[in-house]
Amino acid sequence: MNKKERASFILKFLNKIYPETPIPLKHNNNYELLISVLLSAQCTDERVNKVTPELFKKANNAFVMKDLQVDEIYKIIRPCGLAPKKSKAIQKLSSILSDEFGGNVPESFEELERLPGVGHKTASVVMSQGFGHPAFPVDTHIHRLAQRWGLTKGNNVKQTEDDLKKLFPKNSWNKLHLQIIFYGREYCSARNCYGLSCKICTTCFPNRKKAIYTKKT
C-alpha cells in the first residue's frame, strides 16, 4: 500500500468499528469543554471526568470561576497533572473571558490560543467538538499512531497535523481524530503493538518486522 491507500483503508476501517464517536470529556457547555480539555493535558480523560463535577458544581461559567481563589481551584484539580499551573491558567482565562468576551468562549483559533493554558491542540478540540468547525487535534497519541501507520514522518505534532489534513477529507477530521484515539486505546496503545500486532498495522505493513518508536523533537 502507498500512503493514500493506507489512509483510505484506515478511514473505512475506523468508520466501520467506530460509527459513533461520543466526546470522552463530560461537559454541558463550551466553557466546561474548554476547562476539561485544558485539564486533560498530561492527564487521562477518566481522571478529568472525576474532578470536573466538583469543580463545575462550584463554577460552570467564567464569571463565577474568576472569583474563585487559585488555591480553591487547585484543591479540586490536584489529581490532574500540572495542577498548580493549570489552576492559575483557569482563573486567569476565566477573567479574560469575563472581561473581554462577555463570559463566552471565543469561536476562533487566534482568540482561543491567546488564553492562558490553551495551546493549538486544546483550541482545535474546542473548535471541532464545541463549535463544529473542521479541525484535526493531534496529541502525542495520534502522533504516535500516525507514525506507526506510515501516514507521517513528522518529528512533532504540528507537522503530523499538516500531513493528516492533506491525506484525509476535511469533512472527516472532527470524527476521525476521536476514532484514532479510541482505536489507539483499545488496540494500538503506547505499550503494546509497536506497529506489529493490531489490524491496521498488520494490514498496512504485513511484512514489517521491526518495532516502530515515536519520533519526537
Just list the catalytic residues. 121, 139
CA 82, 83, 89, 94 dihedral sign is positive
The CA distance from 73 to 83, in Å, is: 9
Q: Which three cell numbers stand for residue 131?
A: 463549535
Q: Which three cell numbers stand for residue 128?
A: 471541532
Residues, the chain: 217
Distance of alpha carbon 42 from the chain centroid: 11
Give the CA count within 13 Å in the CB-facing half-sphere of 97. Answer: 29
Instruction: Yes or no: say if 126 and 34 are a contact pair by the CB < 8 Å rule.
Output: yes
* Helices marked H in the chain: 3-17, 30-39, 45-58, 62-65, 70-77, 83-100, 109-113, 120-125, 140-148, 157-167, 173-186, 199-204
The CA distance from 160 to 142, in Å, is: 9
Backbone angles phi, psi at 164, to 5 degrees: -65, -35
Residue located via cell numbers 495542577 = 83
